[in-house]
Amino acid sequence: MAVLLVLAAVLPGAHAAACAGGAVPAANEAFKAADFVRCEAITVGNPTSGQTVYLLWKMSDYPTPSVTIAAQFPSDQGWVSVGLSESGSMYGSDMAVVRKVNGKEFVVEDRHAERSVTPTLDASQDVTLLAAVASSGRTSVVIKRATVTCMGTEDIDFKDVEAAAIVAWGDSHEFAYHSAGRRATAWINFLGAESAPVDLKGYKTHEVRGNSLDVPVDNTVYCYSGHQLPQDKKYHVVRAEPLLNSSHPHLVHHMILYTCLQDLDPDFLNQTTRGPPICASGMQQKGMCYSFWILWAVGGQAMQMPTEAGMPMGLPSGAADVATARNIMLEVHYDNPSVCV
């Protein structure tokens, strides 16, 4: 779990949205990006070196309200899937799986999962495959589905709210478990209006990440790590993005960055180099880190500052500007009512 901060030394005149202009990494025979209205780039793994899945979509009302989704995956070796999830994970998910049968033609399978098991075929197959091409290290597919199917728990309807879009892919066309590095989740409003495009080229980024840990077997737990921000000069945070590249995203309830009014204890500072975060069953904030700075909760996406605004950070220790964040604490709240291991 982590938060990615986008920094500006001088406040900019504009910001940027992901996948602006429908820019996919390469041309393909399955679809043209210009034919789609919206686009989202979903990073799997590290935001600077990880792989990217591109989702493009458009809505239509005739003959019935429907959504057409194009997806490009960073592999041409096996099945691919895209869908919606009530939890952000396999639990309560509805997905379309595109794969080759008997090594020949591509087919689409409408599947669902009520728990963390291999998704089962729906009784009613409500997804249409319009195109599929696998070549040059990429698989590109186009599918279409009615926004509302009235199929109960098997399908999740598309609504004008943010929903968890899930993507995954395998290393063969036999539909089976994918590795942790072949899946991702992004919160998207497929029916909502597109945000104004923002250009973040040339901006600095700073990742605030707690080290890996096994989530404690408890129905609710808070985990903390201390971090020191860059202090070479004053910056402004113009955007903050949640990074949920985890094996247990459905357990994450919220993340909060607190600013600290004093230097942190060396044993707690930058916990990423000293072991896993410190976890407790109650909210046990450390030292003077109690001022809310940046937060994310289930259903949220990136926090984008207005064009003329930014949150100051980065002055050296002892600088007079008390409003500038220098030391921060990351709190991750895991909600695990089923006490899953």
pLDDT in tens, the chain (341 residues): 566 665 555 444 333 234 544 455 556 778 888 788 888 888 776 555 568 889 999 988 877 899 999 999 999 999 999 999 877 777 778 999 999 998 789 999 999 887 767 888 989 999 999 999 999 899 999 999 999 887 777 888 888 887 889 899 998 999 887 776 788 888 888 887 655 555 667 788 888 887 777 777 777 888 888 888 888 888 888 888 887 765 566 678 888 888 887 777 777 775 556 667 778 765 555 557 878 888 888 767 778 777 778 888 887 766 666 667 888 888 888 877 666 55
3-state secondary structure of 256: strand
The pLDDT of residue 149 is 85
The secondary element (H helix, E strand) that includes residue 163 is strand 163-169
Count of CB atoms situated within 10 Å of the CB of 140? 25
**The predicted structure's pLDDT at residue 15:** 31
Q: Is the dihedral of CA 112, 120, 76, 179 positive or negative?
A: positive
**CA-based nearest residue to 108, from 126, 96, 95:** 96
Map out the domains of the chain with their CATH numbers: 2-12+200-335 (2.60.120), 20-188 (2.60.40.1210)
Task: Give the global pTM.
Answer: 0.59
Cα-Cα-Cα-Cα torsion 337, 243, 95, 87, nearest 10 degrees, comes to 20
Strand order in the sheet with 252-260: 278-280, 220-228, 327-335, 252-260, 289-297
Q: Which residue type occupies 167? A: V
